[in-house]
Amino acid sequence: MLSRLTFTWAVLLSSTLLTGCIYNTTAPITPQSSTITMPQYSAEQFFATKSYFGNDINHDASAMLVASDETGVFNLYRVSLDGKHWLPLTQSTTDPAFPIGWFPNDDRLLYTADQGGNELNHVFVREIDGTISDLTPGDKLKASFAGWNKDGSFYIVSNERDPRFFDLYHYNGSDYSRQLVFSNNDGYLINAVSKDGRYLALSKVRNNADNNLYLVDLSNAKPSPVLITEHQGNISHEVYDFSPDNNALLFGANGSGEFVSAYNYNLQSGTTSPYSQADWDISFIYFSEDKQYKVQGVNADASTEISITNLQTGKAMQLPTLPAGDIRSVSFSDDSKYMSFYLNADNSPSNLYIWQLGSAKAQRLTQALDSSINEQHLVQSEVVRFNSFDNVTIPALLYKPKQASANAKVAALILIHGGPGGQSRTGYSPMIQHLLNHGYAVLSVNNRGSSGYGKTFYHLDDLRHGEDDLQDIVYGKKYLQQLDWVAGERIGVIGGSYGGYLTMAAMAFTDEFKAGINIFGVTNWVRTLESIPPWWEAFRESLYAELGDPAVDGERLRRISPVFHGDKVKKPVLVVQGANDPRVLQVESDEMVAAIRANGVPVEYVLFDDEGHGFLKKSNRITAQQAYLAFLKQYL
């Protein structure tokens, strides 16, 4: 599913590797009021925690397809439904492999991988005998899976013909021969293909607040897109899924209010009707393979709450009793006899579960947290809000170290998410928990421009980046200074990607923070917007509407770009960068470090030769985490 946020530069840290369906079962937070002595765990211990991705159940419900970073690099495993047998399916030591899924009728599988973090993903097939083939060969192309057909064939999108746009190819499920079924010459985004292979759903961006959906009948000799969301003004639309009977397209739109509601477009009559509504954005809707169950997710105040509905009875599924946490990535067997999912909480990393529907208990299959760490020593977040300079209410997640009290004040960090347009969300983060364990409070701010809080809030920072949203970060500091357990003179700022930009902006354009950690952050908006990857061409106008056109707004973009103001940075900075990053080029960090050094201010630089926009190799995550802590101990 491609949403209105697909193009944003969201920071990819280990806490964000598992996304998808979340069923909120979180218990009330117990107040932490007394000072306690905490054992301090190392970065190695926190990152000895295993991360998992994927849980597709195969055709005969004998195994799941799971990626794990147990070896230090994500590889694929065939996992028996009782969790007792983990058979390695890939053995990469360099490029992480992420699962797409099993073939519908046998144990062949598809997966995706890039090269050293360059984001030029290819789609690979692994045969039953272990043979691996690249279905999308080429040096410069980017490809991704687009869905299965009911006959076992499948679809892949690729920009091999034109680096700017993605075409749709239909692959034979037996010999992998392919046919180009949609040539994309006009900058459409390919969102979904119906299971009968007849219809293709597209979207096309007009600006960062407005887009349209189109439908293509692939059975026509010359298929062409037909507009299905005629409207006035700015309305954002996003495709969810085709209905199980292939008679309707379900999509989201925010035209009726602040939040995204779901609608049903009838493919035969061409009529649109309301489908579902919530008090927050509806993030996704999809269906079980046998058409028995609907899964719906709602982005509710930094957590995603899901409902699972029996389509025959219309009643909500009754789940077994589970520990406190969020259910993520719900997946059904073909006959819906089994349901697999992950359970995650702020103080507990994602563990894989399997449940035989109707039984009294779900079975936990993994132990993600390293056995040397006591889960009781980890911290749960609290949703808080504070007023910014103009009385706009800013939501945030507050993490209080267990050793903090009015008699034992602690240093604090404001953590800024990626984007622009991302969101700080609940869920386990080894980075955050490691910092908390060593006595640093964390306030994860959802500054204006963050998603999830309505379209007005989302657009408050349009063409105001590095200005009003930066003031939200400053007022987050003021909020922390009001807490009697925070050492108000020892507050720093940390962020990745767009959060790294705001971190550098905070260090260059304010004198509020004692130290800053910039993780692959933009520092030169003119160059960044001029050098976006070619496959982002469809989003170019949307990016310009939000951030500015370098040909028109160059003066303002230079004014808000920290690299041109290195002489204003007066406090210590740590910069961390991946050499293969296609979004924030290494030169951005190189020049920022040089500009700070020229000013005689302490600056440290960690560069990973084998990473891109986010650090996926466990050894690199450990190195980065050690650098964060050493830097903070010295300067905060």
In the chain (636 residues long), the average pLDDT of successive 10-residue segments reads 29 31 37 65 95 97 97 96 97 95 97 94 98 96 96 97 97 98 96 97 94 96 94 97 96 97 97 97 96 96 93 94 91 97 95 96 96 95 98 98 97 96 95 98 98 97 95 98 98 97 98 98 94 87 91 95 96 97 92 96 96 91 97 97
- Strands 573-578 vs 516-519: parallel, antiparallel or unpaired: parallel
Give the integer Cα–Cα distance in Å for 536 and 163: 9
Helix (H) or strand (E) holding 575: strand 573-578
Contacts of 248 (CB under 8 A, 6+ apart): 242, 264, 265, 266, 267
113 DSSP β-pair partners: 122
For residue 194, being part of any structural domain is answered with no
Domain harbouring 623, CATH code: 3.40.50.1820
Instruction: Classify residue 396 by its DSSP letter.
Output: E
Report CA-CA distances (Å) from 366 to 81, 85, 352, 379.
Answer: 12, 11, 6, 21
Contacts of 430 (CB under 8 A, 6+ apart): 14, 15, 46, 47, 49, 349, 621, 625
Within 2-116, residue ranges assigned H as helices are 43-47
Contacts of 166 (CB under 8 A, 6+ apart): 142, 144, 157, 158, 159, 184, 189, 190, 535
For residue 23, being part of any structural domain is answered with no
- 543 and 485 Cβ atoms separated by less than 8 Å: no
Q: CA-based angle 388:390:395, to the nearest 5?
A: 35
384 DSSP β-pair partners: 396
For residue 87, being part of any structural domain is answered with no
- 392 and 460 Cβ atoms separated by less than 8 Å: yes
Q: Exposed, middle or buried by CB within 10 Å (0-12, 13-18, 19+), for 188?
A: buried
Give the integer Cα–Cα distance in Å for 498 and 461: 13
Q: What total of structural domains would you count in the chain?
A: 1
For residue 524, being part of any structural domain is answered with yes
Instruction: Specify the pTM.
Output: 0.91
Q: Which candidate, 512, 500, 608, 513, places its Cα nearest to that of 562?
A: 500
Helix, strand, coil percentages for the chain (3-state, nearest 5): 20, 35, 50
The whole-number pLDDT of residue 12 equals 30
For residue 528, being part of any structural domain is answered with yes
For residue 27, being part of any structural domain is answered with no
Give the integer Cα–Cα distance in Å for 512 and 544: 30
The whole-number pLDDT of residue 7 equals 28
Q: CA-based angle 456:460:463, to the nearest 5?
A: 135
Pick left, alpha or beta for residue 520 (phi over 0 → left; psi -120 to 50 → alpha; otherwise beta): left
Give the integer Cα–Cα distance in Å for 52 and 75: 10
Q: CA-based angle 560:565:595, to the nearest 5?
A: 130
> What's the one-letter identity of residue 615?
F
Helix (H) or strand (E) holding 479: helix 468-481
Q: Which two tokens stand for residue 528?
A: 């960044």
3-class secondary structure, 66: strand
Q: Which candidate, 382, 309, 466, places its Cα nearest to that of 26?
A: 382
The whole-number pLDDT of residue 35 equals 54
Instruction: Classify residue 44 by its DSSP letter.
Output: H
For residue 540, being part of any structural domain is answered with yes
For residue 520, being part of any structural domain is answered with yes
Domain that holds residue 542: 379-635
Q: Which two tokens stand for residue 21?
A: 């369906």
